[in-house]
Amino acid sequence: MKWWYRKSLYRFRQNELKKLYLSCVRYMLTNSICDQAYYFEFGCYSCNTLGMAWKHFRHHFNFDFVVFDSFEGLPEISQIDESGIFAEHGMRMSLEEFQAKVKALGIKREKLRAVKGFYSDSLTQELQAELLGKSIAVAMIDCDLYESTVPVLEFIRPFLRQGSIIIFDDWSCYFGSFEKGEKRAFVEFTTKYPEFTFQTLAQTSEAIAFYVSDLNVQG
Which residues of the chain form contacts with ligand SAM (CB under 6 A)?
A: 43-49, 69-70, 73-75, 91, 118-119, 142-145, 148
Q: Which of 154, 131, 162, 146 is nearest to 67 (CA)?
A: 131
Closest approach of Cβ 214 to ligand SAM, in Å? 29
Which is nearer to ligand SAM, 48 or 203 (by Cβ)?
Answer: 48
Which is nearer to ligand SAM, 115 or 201 (by Cβ)?
Answer: 115
Q: How many CA atoms lie within 13 A of 92 on its CB side?
A: 12
Closest approach of Cβ 216 to ligand SAM, in Å? 31
Distance CA 206, CA 203 (A): 8
Which is nearer to ligand SAM, 55 or 161 (by Cβ)?
Answer: 55
Closest approach of Cβ 118 to ligand SAM, in Å? 4
Nearest residue relative to ligand SAM (C-beta): 43
Which is nearer to ligand SAM, 43 or 163 (by Cβ)?
Answer: 43
Closest approach of Cβ 197 to ligand SAM, in Å? 27
Burial grade of 197 (CB within 10 A; 0-12, 13-18, 19 or more): middle
Q: Which residues of 125-155 are buried (b: 16+ CB within 10 A; e: fewer)?
A: eeeeeebeeebbbbbbbbbbbbbbbbbbbbb
Element (H, E) at 189: helix 181-192
Distance CA 49, CA 175 (A): 22
Which is nearer to ligand SAM, 37 or 143 (by Cβ)?
Answer: 143
Closest approach of Cβ 129 to ligand SAM, in Å? 20
